[in-house]
Amino acid sequence: MADYDFASTKSDVERRMEGALQVLQKEFGGLRTGRASTSLLEPINVDAYGSQMPLSQVGTVSVPEPQLLTVQVWDKGLVGAVEKAIREADLGLNPASDGQLVRIPIPPLTEERRTELTKIAGKYTEEARVAVRNVRRHVMDELKKTEKDGGISQDAHRDYGKEIQDLTDHFISKMDEALHRKEQEIMQV
């Protein structure tokens, strides 16, 4: 039997599944709850100097109060572009500038909007689960092919397959926990 490097395959699988979990957490950061959070503005890009730049590269985002975000814009000429980008981000926010400081009050969420946000969170979670399952399917196909080609025994295939399934279950359960926490955060009044 040829040496099959399952350890490197397994670490690659872990890395890819961890990546799917991190993408999910970043998407959750962009979902608005009733409280102000700097992560809410992370996905926003601003038209600055002829290109699209992340908001964090044109100003300092902070949370001075639970219901207020502020952006201290470094270049006075970009204040209007920052306001426009926040308005067009479709987050239901209405920024107002005060010199180079852009104030963004966080309005309380309606019950309808909260329900809608939990559905969006659920959709994000399902996309992440699918990504994890695709990684599993890819590796399971690779294991089957390696066994067929004589690279590993039937027993090794079964053992490796079980390890990959355990990893998949572990990451899906972490995603479900993250969804549960996010739903509680969204529904908290």
With DSSP H G I counted as helix, E B as strand and the rest as coil, what are the percentages for the chain, rounded to 5? Answer: 60, 15, 25
- Compute, in degrees rounded to 10, the torsion defined by CA atoms 159, 163, 166, 171: -160
Domain count, the chain: 2
Of 62, 88, 105, which one is at a domain's C-terminal end?
105
125, containing H or E segment: helix 111-148
Q: Are residues 124 and 182 in the same domain?
A: yes
Q: Are residues 118 and 59 in the same domain?
A: no
Q: What is the pTM of this model?
A: 0.70
Q: Are residues 25 and 55 in the same domain?
A: no
Residue 1 lies in a domain: no
pLDDT in tens, the chain (189 residues): 446 888 999 999 999 999 999 999 888 877 766 677 788 888 889 998 899 999 989 999 999 988 899 999 999 999 999 999 998 887 778 899 989 999 999 887 788 888 888 998 999 999 999 999 999 999 999 999 999 999 899 999 999 999 999 999 999 999 999 999 999 888 876
Q: Specify the CATH number for the domain of residue 134.
A: 1.10.132.20
Q: Which domain holds residue 140?
A: 6-29+110-187
